[in-house]
């Protein structure tokens, strides 16, 4: 059974989603693409074999020949487009974040709850990464005992030009917030942000270090370092009562050359999470075709945003901040 997909926004992420759906996801039909830049939309349609280019994102959402929508347009547009999908009763895979503020996220929660049916998936693709899945399976096997501490590291080569120093918390760390919530199956309750003052004051990509507590009493700590220079590197170690499980080292091969032995880092997140995007999008299409839902929900999108907001407050006020969440609607339990 085919699912006809429309994609809104085909910049770096959206174009990748189009390629993945076209070449890796049986059952997905690329029905229409929209982009604020029609030339770009046309180019990606030509490359991926998408059937048509839409002139207007809301028209795309409402188009009866479209079964489901993937939103990869700028963050500020996410909420309205997601609400439009809900209004049209269409499944939507919205790139993270669900919305830049918790207030907007709550609008989505309210609309979806009112509808009484889960149609929103948020693109926290790490939940589909085989290494994180393997980590969770290992933990759930019980061999290691109960989890106590989760150490997380997230490093990029360099900050993009539009980056400001708060975005390490609001844009990058949200992936860690989501994966920690998913891994430990609980909510984050407190956050404290530390900055090494040794880092250059003018550097928006300088490291931050976050310590969080969960509702189950675990500690999570996160280093985010956007200007890490040396490579794209995501690490995680889950410390349990009797043992630990870590994400493996990078690279499929090892090279011995020039007095060193080692493996390569990718320059950005796409090679590292190529499997995760493929599996996420396959699961999304399969869930739509089967009438079920998969992946991060609107609630998960809201919760990550709530942690980020508390984190920004901690960064500004240099103290621990409690994370408060609205009551969780039945739909998300």
Q: Find all residues with CB under 8 Å of 300, minimum gap 6, and list them.
A: 122, 124, 178, 181, 182
Closest CA to 41 of 68, 73, 82, 3: 73
The rounded distance, in Å, linking the Cα atoms of 13 and 11 is: 6
CB of 75 to its own copies, least distance (A): 28
* From 74, 254, 270, 292, residue interacting with its own copies (rule: CB under 8 A): 254
SS3 category, 266: coil
Closest CA to 66 of 54, 48, 80, 82: 54
CB of 246 to its own copies, least distance (A): 5
Nearer to its own copies, 23 or 322 (CB): 23
The rounded distance, in Å, linking the Cα atoms of 78 and 100 is: 8
327 part of the interface to its own copies, by CB under 8 A: no
Binding mask 39-78 toward its own copies (x if CB under 8 A, else -) reads ----------------------------------------
Binding mask 100-139 toward its own copies (x if CB under 8 A, else -) reads ------------------------------xx--xx--x-
Q: Give CA separation, 67 vs 12, 191, 256, 263, 291, in Å.
A: 23, 40, 51, 43, 12
Nearer to its own copies, 64 or 260 (CB): 260
Of residues 14-33, those binding its own copies (CB under 8 A): 22-28
88 part of the interface to its own copies, by CB under 8 A: no
The rounded distance, in Å, linking the Cα atoms of 280 and 94 is: 12
* From 244, 328, 329, 331, residue interacting with its own copies (rule: CB under 8 A): 244
268 part of the interface to its own copies, by CB under 8 A: no
Of residues 283-322, those binding its own copies (CB under 8 A): none
CB of 300 to its own copies, least distance (A): 21
CB of 294 to its own copies, least distance (A): 14
* From 14, 147, 295, 301, residue interacting with its own copies (rule: CB under 8 A): 147
148 part of the interface to its own copies, by CB under 8 A: yes
Strand-pair partners of 236: 152
* From 248, 291, 327, 333, residue interacting with its own copies (rule: CB under 8 A): 248
Phi–psi pair at 55, nearest 5 degrees: -90, -15
Closest CA to 32 of 42, 23, 24, 279: 42
Contact 87, 93 (CB under 8 A): no
* From 84, 245, 298, 308, residue interacting with its own copies (rule: CB under 8 A): 245
CB of 24 to its own copies, least distance (A): 7
SS3 category, 109: helix
* From 142, 160, 262, 290, residue interacting with its own copies (rule: CB under 8 A): 262
Nearer to its own copies, 28 or 60 (CB): 28
* From 64, 242, 291, 330, residue interacting with its own copies (rule: CB under 8 A): 242
SS3 category, 233: strand
Candidate segments 58-66, 109-117, 164-172, 251-259, binder of its own copies by CB under 8 A: 251-259
SS (H, E, C) 137-185: HHHHCCCCCCEEEEEEEEECCCCCCCCCCCHHHHHHHHHHHHHHHHHHC
């Amino acid at each position: 059974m085919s699912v006809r997909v429309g994609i809104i926004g085909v910049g770096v992420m959206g174009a990748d989603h189009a390629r993945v759906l076209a070449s890796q996801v049986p059952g997905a039909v690329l029905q229409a693409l929209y982009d604020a830049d029609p030339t770009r939309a046309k180019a990606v349609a030509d490359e991926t074999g998408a059937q048509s280019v839409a002139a207007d994102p809301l028209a795309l959402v409402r188009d009866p020949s479209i079964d489901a929508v993937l939103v990869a347009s700028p963050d500020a547009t996410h909420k309205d487009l997601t609400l439009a999908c809900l209004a049209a009763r269409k499944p939507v895979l919205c790139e993270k974040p669900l919305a830049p503020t918790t207030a907007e996220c709550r609008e989505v929660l309210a609309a979806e709850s009112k509808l009484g049916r889960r149609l929103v998936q948020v693109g926290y693709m790490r939940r589909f990464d085989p290494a994180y899945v393997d980590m969770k399976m290992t933990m759930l096997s019980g061999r290691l005992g109960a989890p106590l501490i989760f150490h997380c590291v997230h490093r990029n080569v360099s900050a993009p030009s539009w980056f400001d120093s708060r975005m390490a918390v609001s844009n990058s760390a949200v992936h860690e917030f989501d994966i920690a919530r998913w891994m430990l199956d609980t909510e984050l309750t407190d956050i404290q942000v530390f900055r090494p003052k040794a880092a250059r004051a003018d550097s928006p990509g300088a490291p931050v270090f976050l310590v969080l507590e969960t509702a189950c009493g675990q500690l999570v700590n996160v280093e985010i370092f956007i200007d890490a220079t040396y490579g794209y590197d995501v690490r995680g170690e889950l410390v349990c009562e009797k043992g630990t499980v870590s994400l493996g080292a990078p690279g499929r091969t090892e090279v011995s050359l020039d007095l060193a032995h080692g493996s390569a880092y990718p320059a950005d997140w796409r090679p590292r999470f190529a499997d995760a995007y493929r599996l996420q999008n396959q699961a999304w299409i399969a869930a739509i075709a089967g009438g079920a839902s998969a992946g991060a929900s609107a609630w998960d999108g809201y919760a990550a945003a709530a942690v980020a907001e508390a984190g920004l407050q901690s960064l500004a006020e240099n103290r621990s901040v409690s994370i408060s969440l609205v009551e969780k609607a039945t739909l998300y339990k």
